[in-house]
Amino acid sequence: MTDDIFDHDVLFIPGPVEVRREILDAQGGWMIGHRSKAFADLYARLQPKLKEAFFVGDGYRVYIYTSSGSGIWESASRCCVRDDQPVLHLVNGAFSERWAGVSRENGKQVDVLEVPWGQAVKPEQLADALKQKHYDAVAVVYNETSTGVINPLPQYAEIMRGYPDTLFLVDAVSCWLGAELDTAAWGIDLVVTSSQKCFALPPGIAFGAVSDRVLARAKEIPYRGYYFDVLTLEKHHEKNNTPATPPISLMYAADRQLDAIRAEGYANRFRRHAQMAGMVRAWVERQGFAMFSEEGYHSPTVSTVRNTRSIDFPALQAHLKKQHITLGGGYGKLKDETFRIAHMGDAQPAHIERLLSAMDAFLAQA
């Protein structure tokens, strides 16, 4: 994985990320019908691997969504919250704000607990909000990709234990398989992910771990739509298939990648992400920039850097492009203030080293 990959444009943006040749090639298998035995075998083979990757056992299943991660937002908002009960959204960046919007657009009553972007939502704040009133669900983005903040999920989990009637919904899109996520032990009811971030697959498929409690709640909600309805997904899941035609090629790729991740080891994979994040933070300090994220809550998978030196970022991007390196700018309202360095998926410390030296060279002549 450390051979010279810079013979093509390599992505250091927070999704889609660089995908290894072996994974791209795994998509080349012949097509099979999605109602065939061959497909049911593929589906059944993926299930235990996916459950392991989410750290879940009995009481959970992992659905395959033919959408990007946003589709699972809709599934969660729509199937986990009754229309006459509120949902609490923790907001500290662009993605958590957008998920709250998805709940509103599905007609739900949304309360927002918001902190300034760049900060983490503190456990005490969640505890206080839950004392005020009953919520059908709490929705949180574990790793805010816009600000580079990782929220203290294990501490939220301890608080949530006191509210067994409140579902715990977690967007782990930009950190699943890049940071620890102990879904069952932390009592999480639904995990939202995408394929094109730390899982390092092409985009177009998403995986959602769902607890029994979610299915029980969904039965109390009359209109759940069709495409993202968990009860429809469950009916087909029991037969090892999907309600509509799934992205079969991407399932081949997922099968291969789950084996590769298992061979690397989950703990090793999380350590590698933390190591790359540490390299980037040391560079930020050495070069006189500043982290946008609050101390103590820096993301292991994406670093949002304040452009305190007011460098010409488009010029830096153009410089990097000549060396086949693609770097991402700031997101949404943070576009001009910050830039982002993703260190996720199958990226290796040697690749990050290459990126940082290329940036050093630009800064030396700027």
Ligand X SMILES: *Cc1c(COP(=O)(O)O)cnc(C)c1O
* Positions that interact with ligand X (CB under 6 A): 15, 68-70, 95, 141, 145, 171, 173-174, 194
List phi, psi (to 5°) of 307: -80, 65
CA 181 from centre of chain: 11
- Sign of the torsion angle spanned by Cα atoms 250, 256, 259, 260: negative
CB 174 within 8 A of CB 302: yes
Neighbours of 219 (CB within 10 A): 11
In this complex, which beta carbon is closest to ligand X, that of residue 291 or of residue 358? 291
Which residue number, 92 or 194, has a Cβ lying nearer to ligand X?
A: 194
Nearer to ligand X, 258 or 342 (CB): 342
In the complex, least distance from residue 274 CB atom to ligand X, rounded to whole angstroms: 18
CA distance 300 to 86: 32
Tell me the two tokens of residue 83: 């229309």
Taking the complex as a whole, the smallest distance from the CB of residue 73 to ligand X amounts, in Å, to 7
Six token digits for residue 97? 């704000």
C-beta of 55: minimal distance to ligand X in Å?
A: 19
Cβ nearer to ligand X, comparing 194 with 241: 194
Q: How far is the CB of 168 from ligand X (least distance, A)?
A: 16
Please, what is the minimum distance in Å from the beta carbon of residue 4 to ligand X?
28
The minimum distance between CB 34 and ligand X, in angstroms, equals: 22
Calpha distance 58→210 (Å, rounded): 11
103 or 145: CB nearest ligand X: 145
Please, are residues 188 and 161 in contact by the beta-carbon 8 Å criterion? no
- Nearer Cβ to ligand X, position 85 or 147? 147
- Which CB atom, from 69 or from 330, has the smaller least distance to ligand X? 69
Q: Which of 134, 127, 189 is nearest to 152 (CA)?
A: 127
Length of the chain in terms of residues written: 366
Contacts of 193 (CB under 8 A, 6+ apart): 69, 72, 172, 173, 176, 199, 206, 207, 208
Residues 154 and 116: their CA atoms lie apart, in Å, by 21
The partner residues of 291 in beta bridges, in order of sequence, read: 305
- Residue 137 beta carbon to ligand X: minimum distance, rounded to whole angstroms: 17
- In the bound complex, what is the minimum distance in angstroms from residue 148's beta carbon to ligand X? 11
329 phi, psi to nearest 5 deg: -85, -170
The residue type of 87 is: V
User: What residues contact residue 163 under an 8 Å CB cut-off, 6+ apart?
Assistant: 130, 135
Which C-beta is closer to ligand X: that of 148 or that of 187?
A: 148
Measured CA to CA, the distance from residue 215 to residue 228 in angstroms comes to: 13
Say if CB 266 and CB 273 are below 8 A apart: no
Nearer to ligand X by C-beta: 103 or 174?
Answer: 174
Please state the closest distance from residue 68 (CB atom) to ligand X, in A: 3
